[in-house]
A and B are shown apart, each in its own frame.
Chain A
Amino acid sequence: MESKRFLRAYNSCPVGLRDIPLVSTAEFRETVVRSVADGARLAALFGRPHGPNTLRLLAVLARSREGALFIVETEVSDCYPSLTVDCPQAHWFEREMAEQWGVRPLGHPWLKPIRFHYSYRPGYDAWARSATEAIQPSVTDFFQVAGEEVHDVAVGPVHAGIIEPGHFRFQCHGENVYHLEISLGYQHRGVERAMLGGPTSRSAHYMETLAGDTSVGHMTAYCQAIEALQGCIVPARAYALRAVALEIERLANHTGDLGALAGDVGYLPTAAHCGRLRGDFLNLTALLCGNRFGRGLVRPGGVVFDLDADQAKLLLEKIGRIYNNVTTAVDLLWKTPSVVGRFEKTGRVLRQTCEDLGLVGPAARACGLERDVRYEFPSGIYALSHIPIALGETGDVFARAYVRWLEIQRSVAFIQKQMEMLPGGPIRAATGELPPERLVVSLTEGWRGEICHVAVTDVEGRFAHYKVVDPSFHNWMGLAMALRDQQISDFPLCNKSFNLSYCGHDL
Chain B
Amino acid sequence: MLKELVARCKLGYGTIPFPAKEPILPDRYRGCPVVDTARCPGQCRVCAEVCPTSAVKVSADGLHLDLGRCLFCGECETACPVNAIRFSREYRMAARRRQDMVLPGTGTGTARSLDARMKRLLGRALRLRQVSAGGCNACEADTNVLTTVVFDLGRFGIQFVASPRHADGILVTGPVTENMKPALIKTYEAVPAPKIVIAVGACAIAGGPYAGHKEVHDGVEGILPVDLYIPGCPPHPIVILDGLLRLLGRIGK
A positions within 8 Å CB-CB of B = 115-117, 136-137, 157-158, 160-165, 185-190, 194, 200-202, 204-206, 209-213, 215, 269, 272-273, 275-276, 278-279, 283, 286-293, 295-296, 305, 325, 328-329, 331-332, 335, 501-503
Measured CA separation A356–B151 after assembly (Å): 44
Residue from the list A189, A201, A202, A205 in contact with B215, Cβ < 8 A: A189
Cβ contact within 8 Å between B213 and A186:
no
| A211–B135 CA distance with the chains assembled, in angstroms | 9
Which chain A positions have C-beta within 8 A of B208? 205, 209
| Complex Cα gap A215–B137 (Å) | 10
Given contacts A161-B162, A164-B132, A502-B137, 4 further A-B contacts (CB under 8 A): A165-B180, A189-B216, A209-B209, A275-B149
List, in ascending order, chain B residues with CB within 8 A of A329's CB. Answer: 7, 11
A165/B183 contact (C-beta < 8 A), A209-B209, A325-B11 known: yes
CB pairs A–B below 8 angstroms (15 shown): A116-B179, A160-B163, A164-B140, A165-B133, A186-B134, A186-B183, A187-B180, A189-B216, A202-B53, A212-B138, A275-B145, A290-B28, A328-B10, A328-B11, A332-B7
Whole-angstrom distance from the CB of A279 to the nearest CB of chain B? Answer: 6
Tell me the nearest residue of chain A to B186, going by C-beta.
A158
What's the minimum C-beta distance from A32 to chain B, rounded to whole angstroms?
A: 30
CB-CB under 8 A from A160, the residues of chain B are 162-163
Query: Are A190 and B215 neighbours in the complex by a CB distance under 8 Å?
Result: yes
Q: Which chain B residues border A213 with CB–CB below 8 Å?
A: 137-138, 141
Query: B210 on the interface (CB 8 Å rule)?
Result: yes
In the complex, chain A residues whose CB is within 8 Å of the CB of B137 = 164, 211-213, 501-503
Knowing A187-B177, A190-B214 touch, does A162 contact B143 (C-beta < 8 A)? Answer: yes
Q: In whole angstroms, what is the CA distance A215 to B215 when docked? A: 21
- Alpha-carbon distance between A325 and B8 when the two chains are bound, in angstroms: 10
Q: How far, in whole Å, are A114 and B237 apart by their CA atoms in the complex?
A: 33
Known interface pairs A157-B183, A202-B52, A305-B28; A293-B11 also in contact (CB < 8 Å): no
Among A283, A291, A296, residue most surrounded by chain B Cβ atoms (within 10 Å): A291
B220 at the binding interface (Cβ < 8 Å): no
Query: In whole angstroms, what is the CA distance A280 to B11 when docked?
Result: 13
Q: Assess the A328–B7 pair: CB atoms within 8 A.
A: yes
Partner-binding segment picked from B35-43, B67-75, B101-109? B67-75
Residues of chain B whose beta carbon lies under 8 Å from any beta carbon of chain A: 3-4, 7-8, 10-11, 14, 26-30, 50-53, 71-75, 129-145, 147-150, 160, 162-164, 174-175, 177-180, 182-183, 187, 203, 208-210, 213-216, 233-234, 236-237
B209 and A188 within 8 A (CB): no
The CA of A337 and the CA of B136, in the complex, are separated in Å by 36
Residues of A within 8 A of B30 (CB): 290-291
Looking at chain A's contact residues, the main secondary structure is loop
Query: Chain A residues near B175 (CB, 8 Å)?
Result: 189
| A210 and B29 contact, CB distance less than 8 A | no
Report yes or no: B213 in contact with A162, Cβ–Cβ below 8 A.
no
B61 to chain A, nearest CB (A): 24
* A289 and B28 in contact, given A137-B179, A186-B179, A189-B175 (Cβ under 8 angstroms): yes
Q: What is the CA–CA distance of A305 and B26 in the complex, to the nearest angstrom?
A: 14
B4 touches A190 (CB 8 A): no
- The docked-state distance in angstroms from the alpha carbon of A202 to that of B49 is 12
- Cβ–Cβ contact B138 & A215, under 8 A: yes
- How many angstroms from the CA of A305 to the CA of B27 in the assembled complex? 12
Report Cα–Cα, A312/B132, bound state, in Å: 36
Assuming the A-B contacts A165-B183, A206-B209, A286-B28, are A276 and B150 also in contact, with contact meaning beta carbons closer than 8 angstroms in the complex? yes
B65 CB to nearest A CB, Å: 16
Given contacts A190-B215, A212-B138, A329-B7, contact A162 B209 (CB under 8 A): no
CA distance A328 to B175 in the complex (A): 39
Cβ of B160 and Cβ of A211 under 8 Å apart?
no
- Of the candidates A136, A165, A269, A272, the one whose C-beta lies within 8 Å of that of B132 is A165
User: Which 3 residue pairs of A and B lie closest in terms of their CB atoms, listed nearest first?
Assistant: A212-B138, A212-B136, A290-B28
One of A190, A202, A286 near B29 (C-beta < 8 A)? A286
Residues of A within 8 A of B145 (CB): 275, 278-279
Contacts of B233 in A (CB 8 A): 209, 295
B150 touches A188 (CB 8 A): no
Cα-based distance from A137 to B145 in the complex (angstroms): 29
Pick the contact of A201: B50, B132, B141, B180 (CB < 8 A): B50
Decide yes or no: A163 and B140 within 8 Å by CB, A292-B236, A293-B234 being known contacts: yes
Q: Is B216 a contact of A276 with CB atoms below 8 Å?
A: no
Residue pair B7, A503 in contact (C-beta under 8 Å): no
Contacts of B178 in A (CB 8 A): 117, 188
**Taking CB as reference atom, which chain B residue is nearest A185?**
B179
Query: Distance (Å) between the CB of A297 and the closest chain B CB?
Result: 10
Contact status B29-A205, CB under 8 Å: no
**Inter-chain contacts of B203 with A (CB < 8 A):** 209
Closest to A194 in B: B213
CA distance A289 to B27 in the complex (A): 9
Complex alpha-carbon distance, A160 and B167, angstroms: 12
Complex contact B136–A163 (CB within 8 A): no
Would you call B73 and A205 a contact (CB within 8 A)? yes
Kindly list chain B residues whose C-beta atoms are within 8 Å of the C-beta of A272. Answer: 148-149
CB nearest neighbor in B for A215: B138
Q: Across the interface, which residues of B come within 8 angstroms of A163, CB to CB?
A: 132, 140
Q: What is the bound-complex CA distance between A194 and B29, given in angstroms?
A: 29
Instruction: Give Cα distance in the complex from A162 to B145, angstroms.
Output: 10
| List of B residues within 8 angstroms of A185 by Cβ | 179
Q: Which residues of B contact A117 (CB under 8 A)?
A: 178-179, 215
Contacts of A116 in B (CB 8 A): 179
Q: A165-B183, A188-B179, A279-B145 are in contact. Are A287 and B28 (CB under 8 A)?
A: yes
CA distance A325 to B14 in the complex (A): 12
Contact for A290 among B29, B182, B237, CB less than 8 A: B29
**Nearest CB of A to B170, in Å:** 10
Q: Separation in Å of the B56 CB from the closest CB of chain A?
A: 12
State in angstroms the CA–CA spacing of A204 and B144 once bound together.
25
B183 touches A286 (CB 8 A): no
**Please, how many angstroms separate the alpha-carbon atoms of A287 and B29 in the complex?**
8
Whole-angstrom distance between the Cβ of B42 and the nearest chain A Cβ: 21
Q: A163-B132, A210-B136 are in contact. Are A279 and B150 (CB under 8 A)?
A: yes
Q: A157-B180, A329-B7 are in contact. Are A189 and B138 (CB under 8 A)?
A: no
**A158/B183 in contact, CB under 8 A:** yes
Judging by beta carbons under 8 Å apart, are A287 and B27 in contact?
Answer: yes
Closest to B26 in A: A286
Asked if residues A162 and B52 are in contact (CB atoms below 8 Å), the reply is no
CA distance A194 to B179 in the complex (A): 18
Whether the Cβ atoms of A162 and B11 lie closer than 8 Å is no
- Collect the chain A residues with CB atoms within 8 Å of residue B150's CB: 275-276, 279
Residue in B3, B162, B209 whose CB lies within 8 Å of A332: B3
Contacts of B236 in A (CB 8 A): 292
